[in-house]
Structure 1
Amino acid sequence: MESKSTDSKLWREICNIWPEFYKHVSWEIGCGDRARFWLDKWAPGLESIWHEVVDTDWIPDPTAKISRFVDPFGQWDKERMIDLIPQHIINKILCIFPPNPSLGSDQAVWDPGRNGQFSISNAYNVIVNTVQRHPSGMWKVLWKSKFQQRNKFILWRLGHDRLPTRSRLASWSPTNPSCLWCSRSRETNMHALRDCPKIAAVWRLFLNPRDRALFFNLSAKDWIGWNLQRNKKFASIPWPSIFSAACGLFWHWRNKKLYESDFQFPWEAHRVILIQARLQEEAWRPWEEERISCSGLAKTWRKPMVGWIKVNSDGAVCRSSRRAACGGLIRDNFGNWIKGYAVNLGHASVLSAELWGIVHGLSITWDLGFRKVEIESDSSHAINLIQSPWDVSSNFHPLQQKIACLLSRNWEVKATQISRSANECADTIAKNSLASSTGLTILDVPPCTVASVMMRDLIIYSSRDSGG
């Protein structure tokens, strides 16, 4: 990307930041029409092929697309690489599936993002070098907690020392920094929600005497984390709910006092807090019961309907070698084995492995003549992708075009996400495939390690339902 002096300031700034931004973009290879063989990051473990070449002057076209390095038989054209690229790099390339015209366009992937998805906030964090690969456990617990969003926001601001207390406002205005309740100390963030004598007296009613010293001496972030992760109950109410309700009410009462001079601190503040916390718990309970009920349905494998067959698919990637594989099995409405498949993919991403498992499962099922098919995977991202409408102009995964073509055939296909425990047979096949030779292997009989899991699936299912 280049800019001229006559271009807008915005475009010039984008061009300036582009090289740094593009370092975090890699490519999922489809038909090889977009990614550049030499300059782009598409081979796992390599920044680019260009950086591995000893003498780049011999490269005739640095911007050549990957599709130009495939021979007429659809395999990598080693003759075009052998004089320019070191042999160990060629070996890595040969472990990757070559571009295939039946796949969609190459897809740009944002490396720091979850599942390769780009977001403005994530990009900003990368650019200012504040990426946190392992976010603070306290913040994770806070945002996943089941209480009111406004209370989460209050605690988040408290953790960053950003509540607009009188002490904070006094640093840039003539505001009186004294506490509204005790009038003796500066109203800092922690004073307003914990250390003020009036507030502290309420906290003591909830605390075991042996916990008080720790409670009143922790720093703000440690204090929030300790309370949110405290596995205790008071009056049958989880402590995190009481803690969040108390902080929310203390801040609410403080603001009431600020704007209504005749407002009085509640006489039995601890009872008001308990009522608020109990209401909060009761509001969450129906959702929690529904979530538990729904998640329980997917914990075991279920037989397909009469006249249907079921494909279970999974992908696996070895963290150390980065080699990927996929596998799956096809069963009838009695739970009997029909076929299985194991595929060593060479180098591929986790999502690609999951999608390749679905592609092979659908292709084999079609070739076997089945026209009513249920396909299951434990990857929510893969299931969401194949259920999304495919558009050639969008930045979809290259395998989505292949899957869309398979689904458009004259048959009925239902795709469903299941839990990992219900997908154990496919998971076992996929992991075993990591040690096999590259390519597709059709399994006419179940491997011993899978047969025992299949039997267990049937026993568990029979105890729940007679099935089929």
Structure 2
Amino acid sequence: MPNFTPQPRDETIQKDHTLKVSELMMENPRSWNTILLQALFNQDSVNEILKISLAQYNYQNVDDKPIWIHHSSGQFSVKSAYAAITSNSDTTINSIPSNTWKNLWKLKVQDRLKYLCWKILSNIIQTKELLKNFFPIDSDDCICPICQTGIESQEHLFLNCSFTRMLWRQSPWPLNISSLAETMNHWIECILSPNKILGIFSNEEHSFQIFALVAMDSIWFLRNKVVHDAITPDLEMFISQTLKIHKEHCEAWDNVMINNSHNWKAIPKDHHILTFDVAVRENGSTAAAICRKDEGDIDFIQTSFIHSTNPNQGEATALLIGLKAAKEANIQNLIIAGDSLNTIMAANAESHNPDWITQPIMQDIRHMLGTLNSWQLRKIHRDQNRCAHSVAQWAASKLIFGSIPLIFVPPCLLNFHSGKDPLVCLY
């Protein structure tokens, strides 16, 4: 909530400098006094205040402390201050849509290839065209060292160089990429959404993305060998090596997917499993938790609406409402499984809190875990959490919150089988 200051409901409301934040709360259970908030502040201020979670347990002796809102930890640092100052500056990075960065980091490719994309989008690849802005380089020295035609720019190397064009012609997707994209930003958008933009078949998307990034990495590697080691570029060897590297990357990822499909551990007898997820919308989030017996029968389904759109806050809330419902059902032996690594790690150790705004919720979660006889935390794949995910989406669309009777939930939401789920406990 940058630069947020609660505003009075209207001009008739006098500012009371003696009013304490604690006076805006109610106890048993601890919550914001919505009626009082609406009487004092305008609706925008009320909505922002309601996004702040309040701890329910062990909060009496916790001292107030300042929070640095420009970093998720709440702690000030020179680095975060610099980032806050420059966040609105007119830079190349800030001109890239946030969704592009999100889709880039989600790519199932080697991290080094993602880093190369980041450098390209940030326009910091040290091509001769870029370097001549900082050093006195003659125009003749800016020619592409590989094909000896055209100025060595990002677009030339990765789209227009004859080696790049010949590589693509002998690829599984013989595209004329220089005609598909005029800029590297556009080409990377094509790589991120090949089915939507280029019409690549869905079952080939991952292999295509690997090839496109390996091709860029190979051409940049060859360029550096030519410039720094004075080698003579060999087109046939360049193409064969790149195709070989692409095949190796694809095989490696196939093995990763196979290994991930066997990450399930059996549920001990007489234990229950609690899965949780959140559906984030523009005006708030819907948290959902589902608990099952070791045989797979459902104990309960619990949902709750929160005003915040912070995913970490939503995931933590989903886990908390599940733990509260488990306590009411007198469940003492619990396996807790979710696809949010941040939430799983923070529940296990206070030092791993994902951000300061979730701290009150994580404090309550750790308190609830302390009331159980036994519990385990497990990070599971998103595909194994589709039941909780779908219930959260359904509850968000239908505006159904609280303890939900099983007969109200469409059966199709509770019987997903991804090929990775254990037969005794589909969730």
**2:2 is equivalent to residue 24 of structure 1:** yes
The one-character-per-residue Cα deviations of 1:322-344 (angstroms, maximum 9, x if unpaired) are 24332323211111122333334
The equivalences for 1:295-314 within 5 A come to: 295-297=260-262, 304-314=267-277
Q: How far, CA to CA, are the matches of 1:191 and 1:349 in structure 2?
A: 37
2:287 is paired with a residue whose SS is strand
Give % identity: 9
The normalised TM-score by structure 2 is 0.68
CA gap 1:305/1:327 in 2 versus in 1, 3 angstroms: same
Q: How far, CA to CA, are the matches of 2:106 and 2:273 in structure 1?
A: 38
Does the CA-based 8 Å contact 2:165-2:178 persist in structure 1? no
- Paired residue type of 1:59: K
The equivalences for 1:48-447 within 5 A come to: 48-50=5-7, 52-54=9-11, 58-61=14-17, 64-71=19-26, 74=30, 76-77=32-33, 84-86=40-42, 88=43, 92=47, 99-102=54-57, 108=67, 110=69, 120=80, 122-128=83-89, 130=91, 131-132=94-95, 134-135=97-98, 137=100, 144=107, 146=109, 149=112, 153=116, 156=119, 160=123, 163=126, 165=128, 168-169=131-132, 172-173=135-136, 177-178=140-141, 179=143, 188-189=152-153, 193=157, 200=162, 203-204=165-166, 207=169, 215=178, 219=182, 221=184, 225=188, 238=211, 240-257=213-230, 265-266=232-233, 269-278=234-243, 280-281=245-246, 284-285=249-250, 287-297=252-262, 304-319=267-282, 322-345=283-306, 349-390=310-351, 395=356, 397-409=359-371, 411-431=373-393, 433-434=395-396, 441-443=402-404, 445-447=405-407
CA gap 1:70/1:146 in 2 versus in 1, 3 angstroms: closer
The normalised TM-score by structure 1 is 0.63
2:254 is paired with a residue whose SS is helix
CA gap 1:239/1:194 in 2 versus in 1, 3 angstroms: closer
CA gap 1:207/1:126 in 2 versus in 1, 3 angstroms: same
Does the CA-based 8 Å contact 1:180-1:254 persist in structure 2? no
Q: How far, CA to CA, are the matches of 1:191 and 1:93 in structure 2?
A: 45
Q: How far, CA to CA, are the matches of 1:329 and 1:290 in structure 2?
A: 31
CA gap 1:427/1:253 in 2 versus in 1, 3 angstroms: closer
CA gap 1:163/1:338 in 2 versus in 1, 3 angstroms: closer
Cα deviation, residue 66, structure 1: 2.4
1:447 is paired with a residue whose SS is helix
Unmatched runs of 5 consecutive residues or more in structure 2:
none
The one-character-per-residue Cα deviations of 1:243-284 (angstroms, maximum 9, x if unpaired) are 431332133213333xxxxx5x24xx1232134324533553
- Aligned residue-pair number: 399
| Structure (1 or 2) with the larger CA radius of gyration | 1
1:102 is paired with a residue whose SS is coil
Match of 1:6 in 2: none
The one-character-per-residue Cα deviations of 1:32-60 (angstroms, maximum 9, x if unpaired) are xxxxxxxxx4xxxxxx322655256x222
The one-character-per-residue Cα deviations of 1:363-400 (angstroms, maximum 9, x if unpaired) are 332343333211122333322321333599x9462111
Cα deviation, residue 212, structure 1: 8.8
The one-character-per-residue Cα deviations of 1:121-173 (angstroms, maximum 9, x if unpaired) are 75354142554572485996599584694896499469838535389549743
The one-character-per-residue Cα deviations of 1:299-348 (angstroms, maximum 9, x if unpaired) are xx9873212111122333432xx243323232111111223333344556
Does the CA-based 8 Å contact 1:95-1:346 persist in structure 2? yes
